[in-house]
Every structure is written in structure tokens, then in C-alpha cells.
């Protein structure tokens, strides 16, 4: 059920975005239809993200981590290590010189 909600939510969000851009281009009166579709699509995507992930924090389930740099990688000098303050997820990021 969750992958289907994600696909439907993505389609509704895309359709709302297209209607919003179209309403700006042709100056038509679509009332609040693009806004309603954008809100519904985003809420469906947020709902599926919250239910399918296993992190404890709701913000981390939606992908809004709060990373802080904890150090540099030993193997590669230009790679730094970040750790989320809420859910303790680590990621390694390459930095440009």
C-alpha cells in the first residue's frame, strides 16, 4: 500500500505544480485547485515517508536530519564524516579542495 501512496502522491504533486505554472502562464482562473493539489500531494508523500522509515524522530523519518561534522575520514583526506544529532545516522561526504 505504501509504494502506491507514494506514486499517487508524487503524481498529484506533479499535476498541481503543472497546473500552478499553467495558471501563471495563461492567466486563467483555476481558483485554488493547484494549491489544494500541491498540499494533498505533499501530505501524501510525507505520510508515506513517516510510515516507511524506522528512525525514532519524525523529522528524521522525513529526511530532515540535523547533521554535525564529527571528523575527517582516515582513508581519504578530502572526505568528512557527519552524524545526525537526533538519530545517530552517519554519512561520509567528499569535500572539494
Check residue 80 and give its pLDDT: 92
> How far, in Å, are 35, 56, 70, 73 from residue 11 at the CA level?
14, 28, 39, 40
All three cell numbers of 26: 495563461
pLDDT digits (tens, 9 = 90+) for 38-79: 999 999 988 887 777 666 777 887 788 899 999 998 888 889
Is the pTM value of this prediction over 0.75? no
- Region of 64 (left: φ > 0; alpha: ψ -120 to 50; beta: rest) is beta
Q: E-strand spans in 4-96? A: 67-72, 79-84, 90-94
Tell me the CA distances in angstroms from 12 to 3, 25, 29, 47, 63, one per residue in order: 14, 20, 19, 14, 20
Amino acid at each position: 500500500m505504501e509504494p502506491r501512496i507514494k506514486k499517487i502522491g508524487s503524481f498529484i504533486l506533479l499535476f498541481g505544480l503543472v497546473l500552478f505554472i499553467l495558471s501563471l502562464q495563461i492567466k486563467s482562473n483555476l481558483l485554488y485547485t493547484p494549491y489544494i493539489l500541491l498540499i494533498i500531494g505533499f501530505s501524501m508523500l510525507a505520510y508515506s515517508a513517516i510510515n516507511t522509515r524506522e528512525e525514532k524522530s519524525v523529522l528524521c523519518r522525513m529526511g530532515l536530519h540535523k547533521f554535525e561534522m564529527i571528523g575527517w575520514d582516515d582513508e581519504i583526506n578530502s572526505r568528512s564524516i557527519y552524524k545526525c544529532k537526533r538519530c545517530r545516522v552517519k554519512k561520509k561526504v567528499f569535500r572539494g579542495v
